């Protein structure tokens, strides 16, 4: 028997949505397949047709979010010869804003720390290219400087997306440029 692609995708979307509603409330290790399928209106066997476990479902969501960020970094932000902080950070923040429901949870208290590390790995080439000095600092110093910038960017996104009424992107960038940089 062949599955219909539209039905398959709708089922997956329903399972993802049910999982996401639960994940927004509590850590992944406290979510059962039964809860997901009850909320989505399917039986457990249907879940296992598409996913091995809840961790695979979370990984799929994380991969989707990170894939969009990675494409932005590789196809746009690394293409220029110089850093335009306002423009580059603006693009990253607009992306975080569009996926705010995901971003605030993935970077929040229930989020997987591995997601944050993967996000830093994607943003790292920007730091290496535009923030680290041309003269080598030494491996240990470069690691510290890179982590300083990456942690600041991720913390900014985390804090900003967690706000109920976040400040406009241009204002946020202005604060960073005028106060931090």
Query: Which pLDDT score, from 0 to 100, does residue 83 have?
Result: 67
What residues in the chain have per-residue pLDDT under 70? 1-3, 83, 181
* Topology classification of domain 5-51: Arc Repressor Mutant, subunit A (1.10.10)
Query: Which pLDDT score, from 0 to 100, does residue 1 have?
Result: 44
Q: Which residues contact 122 (CB under 8 A, 6 or more apart)?
A: 66, 69, 70, 73
Tell me, rounded to whole angstroms, the distance of Cα 85 from its chain centroid: 20
- Tell me the C-alpha distance between 49 and 68, whole Å: 26
- Tell me the C-alpha distance between 162 and 157, whole Å: 8
* Tokens (6 digits) for 1: 């028997």
Q: Record the pTM.
A: 0.84
Burial class (CB in 10 A: 0-12, 13-18, 19+), 66: middle
């Amino acid at each position: 028997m062949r599955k219909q692609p539209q039905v398959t995708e709708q089922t997956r979307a329903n399972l993802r949505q049910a999982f996401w509603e639960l994940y927004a409330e509590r850590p992944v290790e406290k979510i059962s397949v039964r809860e997901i399928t009850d909320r989505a209106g399917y039986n457990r066997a249907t879940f296992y047709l598409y996913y091995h476990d809840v961790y695979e479902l979370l990984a799929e969501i994380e991969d989707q979010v990170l894939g969009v960020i990675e494409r932005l970094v590789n196809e746009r932000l690394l293409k220029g010869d110089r850093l335009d902080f306002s423009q580059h950070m603006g693009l990253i923040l607009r992306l975080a804003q569009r996926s705010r429901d995901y971003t605030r949870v993935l970077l929040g208290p229930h989020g997987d720390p591995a997601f944050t590390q993967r996000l830093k790995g994607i943003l790292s080439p920007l730091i290496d290219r535009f923030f680290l000095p041309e003269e080598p600092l030494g491996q240990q110093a470069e690691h510290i400087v890179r982590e300083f910038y990456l942690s600041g960017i991720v913390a900014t996104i985390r804090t900003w997306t967690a706000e109920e009424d976040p400040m406009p992107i241009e204002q946020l960038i202005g604060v960073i440029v005028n106060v931090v940089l």
